[in-house]
Amino acid sequence: MSRDDILPLIAAWDGEGVVVRYDKPTDTWIFIAFHSSRLGRPTGGTRLRVYPDLRAALRDAMRLAEGMTSKWAGLGVRYGGGKAVLAIRRPLDAADRRGLMLRYGELLETLGAFYTGADLGTGPDDMVHMARRTRCILGVDSAGHATDPGPYTARGVAAGLRSALRHRFGDASPAGRRILIQGLGGVGAPLARRLAAEGAELLLCDLESAKAEALAVETDGRIVPVDRVYTEPCDVFAPCAIGGILDRRTIAMLACQIVVGSANNQLDGEDDADRLRKWGILYVPDYIVNAGGALTFSLMADGVRDEDELAGRVDAIGSAVADILAEADVAGTTPLVAARRRVDRLLARSADED
């Protein structure tokens, strides 16, 4: 992959810019995508993974940054959209990873323009390392203790899921509903535990089968093999791993009533929302329902520490989802369009306040 292949992608993007840094000791490419600072300082998670190529890594950073702009606007939080990707070549051992995090932290401190926290592939430990080099971290307090956004995100997804169940079946309870969770990581695992406690019948799938097995024992769930994740009949399909998984091919395979999960950018393209609607599947827009972690970080940055208050604010994601689903029905559009309109209204309103 030559450099020349990725530069035009950056030039063609409608975001504000991309910072590219190569970390020689670990052979890692770092992309920090700044999408919009219209509402405030670009803020979003840092993702770490092996990508098929650099284009895929850069595209992911740019698309995720766009999603953050919508996420903050949808929450009414005055932060901007940004996201970082650490495109590692192969899994790193603990010492290499720590070194990468320290150097990446130094870069963020030099820039002083992007605030970040955990995302897919990174966790509270990484943030603690970075926080030794930079103030540009959300969710690490002055004592160096890191908050994991995952359980808060899971709480918001569960609230949105209840609204979607009520919308579709007239009953919000997950009890007895078959819920298939794809990806049992930072959000998928706490979501599974929460739904199991509410009596859901869990179907669990993860690329790491040991993860699925352990959680299946714990939650009395059933394991779904990776090659059946899109075809397995269920009431709710909850994507909680990577994005871009819902496309023409997979949507035609789905045997569910509702799609609601935490993964960012679940749709391959915008027309996939129409496709889901045509197949009679209720799709809850990801950036609305997965905003619990981001919301919690923004509240904590404002000094809110009370767990009941945080929980109450995250649960309100359920009402936002209910409003969007109702608005989509009234307008005869997809929930994605209804969510977009809501975000545009909020963006216009905050622009008026400026």
Structure tokens at 169: 């079946």
**Smallest separation, CB 152 to ligand PHE (Å):** 8
Of 205, 164, 207, 210, the closest CA to residue 181 belongs to 205
Shortest Å, Cβ 138 to ligand PHE: 5
Q: Is the CB of 138 or the CB of 203 nearer to ligand PHE?
A: 138
Residue ranges binding ligand PHE (CB under 6 A): 43-45, 116-119, 138, 149, 264, 293-294, 297
Our CB check for ligand PHE shows the closer of 83 and 177 to be 83
83 is catalytic: yes
Q: Which residue matches tokens 């926290």?
A: 117
Determine contact, residues 235/164, Cβ cutoff 8 Å.
no
CB of 104 to ligand PHE, least distance (A): 14
Between CA 244 and CA 227 the distance in angstroms is: 17
Query: If you write DSSP's letter for every residue of 111-169 in order, what string do you get?
Result: H---BB-B-TT--HHHHHHHHTT-S-BSSB-TTSPBPPSHHHHHHHHHHHHHHHHHHHH
Q: Smaller CB distance to ligand PHE: residue 259 or 299?
A: 299
Among residues 202 and 320, whose Cβ is nearest to ligand PHE? 320
Q: Smallest distance, Å, CB 290 to ligand PHE?
A: 6
Q: Cα(267)–Cα(243) distance, rounded to whole angstroms? A: 7
The amino acid present at 241, given as its one-letter code, is A
Q: Which residues are catalytic?
A: 83
